[in-house]
Structure 1
Amino acid sequence: MSIQVSIICPTYNEEKYIAKCIESIIAQDFPIMQLEVLFVDGRSTDATRSIIANYQQQHSCIKLLDNPEKIVPFAMNKGIANAQGEIIIRIDAHSFYPTNYVSVLVSQLVSLEVDNVGVVCKTDVLNKNKKTLAIREVLSNPFGVGNSLFRTGVDEITEVDTVPFGCYRKDVFQKHGLYDTRLIRNQDIELNKRIKRGGGRIFLIPETFCTYYARETFRGIMKNNFQNGKWNILTVYHTKMFDSLSLRHFIPMFFVLSLFFPLGASLFYFPFILLGAFSFSMYVMLVGILSLKLSLSKEINFFYLFSSFISLHVSYGIGSLAGIFNVLFKK
């Protein structure tokens, strides 16, 4: 099967992760002569570009492109425009890929004759300690991040609405359009939803996987998930499509509203505060029970588990509210 494949990886200040990502790509069992790897960099200010350049000297398949706009959709569109391959694989610099990653995706894309295939994305951390192991557990738990199949896993090839990253035939972008450059987050989900609306098919493949390296501090989790929550709202606003996302993306916002709304209403009628107190108590009890079970069964620090759940959900929900305010007061 002589198929040319272009791997596209947007980068910006990824010096902690980029070498591990590149090592996993050049170790693929897919024929190297049929592969090109395009790193589209947003003018990193750390050592990312020099690390890529060092590998570029050793491997002719690696190319470095400039992305002055810095954000992912511009990087992907520039990569697609420069790609020589018939198949496009979008990867992330925060991730590691097993040796059969490319070969399995390409084989299944061809045999299934569909528009996009992807794999389960496992969450891990580079530096393992009590805090980071708790963060990893929460970011792998359905209560923490939802019940997407690409997180929980599948035992057989399954048709889905979206996959992380993705392996596409290049002509898919001619048929369904490129990445939406208005979206700083959710570009992959929006593109996949657009493919589905256009009659395309997307499948999740169980034969391989990828590993995503999560942020390792509460501040990092909160900052990242605040932006995720905010861009859920802005994605709907820009696309004018509620089905660009799923209901699970808005649950943290409803939880935070269940706290803030009674608090505000209590200024006019104090007993309303009891509703907020009830919601908060039920949530804390649920998180406490789940954290205790995980702590006992997996020997992970209870305090860090409890704090990780709250950091994730509250920052995500507040981010969604910030997105609403951004839309309402946008000039």
Structure 2
Amino acid sequence: MSRRVSVIVPCRNERHHIEAFCASVAAQRLPADWGLEVVITDGRSDDGTRELLAELASRDARLVVIDNPGGIVSTGLNRALAKASGEVIVRMDVHTTYADDYIGQCLQTLATTGADNVGGPWHAEGVTPMQRAVAAAFQSRWLAGGARSRQLDYDGEVDTVYLGCWPRRSFERFGGFDETLVRNQDDEHNLRIVKGGGRIWQSPAIRSTYRPRAHLGALFRQYLQYGYWKPFVMKKHGQAASLRQLLPGLYVLVLGVSLLLAMCGVWPGLAGALAGAYAVAVLLASVLIARHTGLDLLWRLPAVIAAYHFGYGIGSVWGWCDVLRGATTGRPRFSRLTR
């Protein structure tokens, strides 16, 4: 009897992408002794996604579709986990494309490392000019701050990986995903693994490509949510923030205070100096990124970088305000998915 790997996928309103995604998963080349199961949790789609999934499932017995009444990623992942029957669990995302040996490499890395979670680097690529600029900034060390998850050649232990692949025993030992978190539920789960004595491994052989947001507004809202939910994760685990996680929020806070002081006639030049210094830094970073990714992106990159920074920074300040006043759950306005 073959062993089974279960792919878990939360989705909502993905009619234009779900068929291609299911085809790419079905085309995965697995080791001869492994069978495949795909569990997709639909968060009450209203664009025809659910009907299309039902049609796809009628043609492929390996595809299982269930409801996700919570409508967010963490509830979808937990419902998929409860339904999945595989001894290995692989999380996949609809807006990511995968090498045809993606799952096979996950299984190989689990076997060779004995880790509690494995995954590949987070590699972003865009199609439209704006999406290419978003991907170029995302991949750059000037924005990522040296995060290993975006180092495409890094092979070794890490604190977190993109998506993830776990032996089922990892969930039995460390639990499922925190359903109070709309964003950062993967980082929180990986932090729980590391603090609990587990190991997470990144392998460049596990190859995938993420399609980022294609519009500035969507990018800003995405990172507003990432910034907002990060303090809730830190509060839960008593985790000290890294400098790269603090800087956007600190800058937004200092800039806001300086603007208020200027309105009161105190240090009127401080806000301008801070804004000017930031503008110079962003322009310099844009030039450095464009040199490697294409000069045609240069005029888009400053706005893209600012959307990343101000989205995350404003969200962080808002999140810390709620955490420090004793909130245990986030605001509903930060609970709506942004894609």
- TM-score of the superposed pair, with normalisation by structure 2: 0.89
Q: 2:166 aligns with which of 165, 168, 190?
A: 168
Distance 1:197 1:329, change over 3 A: closer
- Counterpart of 1:291 in structure 2 is 286
- Counterpart of 1:248 in structure 2 is 244
Q: Distance in 2 between matches of 1:318 and 1:80?
A: 33
* Contact residue 17 and residue 95 of structure 1 kept, 8 A: no
Q: 1:13 Cα shift?
A: 1.3
Q: 1:241 Cα shift?
A: 2.4
* Contact residue 119 and residue 206 of structure 2 kept, 8 A: no
- Spell out, residue by residue over 1:172-221, the C-alpha distance to the aligned partner (whole angstroms, 9 max, x if none): 11111111111111111111111111110110011131111111001111
Q: Distance in 2 between matches of 1:94 and 1:283?
A: 32
- Spell out, residue by residue over 1:273-296, the C-alpha distance to the aligned partner (whole angstroms, 9 max, x if none): 433322221211111122234335
* Structure 1 segments unaligned to the other structure (5+ residues): none
Q: 1:145 Cα shift?
A: 3.5
The DSSP-based 3-state class of the residue aligned with 1:36 is strand
Q: Distance in 1 between matches of 2:111 and 2:58?
A: 32
Q: Distance in 1 between matches of 2:118 and 2:86?
A: 16
Q: Which moved more, 1:201-210 or 1:13-22?
A: 13-22
- Spell out, residue by residue over 1:239-261, the C-alpha distance to the aligned partner (whole angstroms, 9 max, x if none): 14225x64422221112122112
**1:20-99 counterparts in 2 under 5 A?**
20-30=20-30, 34-99=35-100
- Spell out, residue by residue over 1:104-153, the C-alpha distance to the aligned partner (whole angstroms, 9 max, x if none): 0011102211211110121123xx33322222211222222332212122
- Counterpart of 1:13 in structure 2 is 13
Amino acid in structure 2 at the alignment position of 1:241: G
Q: Distance in 1 between matches of 2:55 and 2:246?
A: 43
- TM-score of the superposed pair, with normalisation by structure 1: 0.91
Q: Distance in 1 between matches of 2:274 and 2:102?
A: 44
The DSSP-based 3-state class of the residue aligned with 1:39 is strand
* Contact residue 38 and residue 62 of structure 1 kept, 8 A: yes
- Counterpart of 2:129 in structure 1 is 130
* Contact residue 134 and residue 300 of structure 1 kept, 8 A: no
* Contact residue 137 and residue 289 of structure 2 kept, 8 A: no
* Contact residue 121 and residue 203 of structure 2 kept, 8 A: yes
Q: In the alignment, does 2:280 pair up with 1:281?
A: no
The DSSP-based 3-state class of the residue aligned with 1:121 is coil
- Counterpart of 1:4 in structure 2 is 4
Number of aligned residues:
325
Q: 1:53 Cα shift?
A: 2.1
Amino acid in structure 2 at the alignment position of 1:137: A
Q: 1:31 Cα shift?
A: 5.4
* Structure 2 segments unaligned to the other structure (5+ residues): 328-339
- Counterpart of 1:315 in structure 2 is 311
Cα RMSD (Å): 2.1
- Counterpart of 2:337 in structure 1 is none
Amino acid in structure 1 at the alignment position of 2:201: F
- Spell out, residue by residue over 1:281-327, the C-alpha distance to the aligned partner (whole angstroms, 9 max, x if none): 12111111222343355222322111111121112111111212333
Q: In the alignment, does 2:194 pair up with 1:196?
A: yes
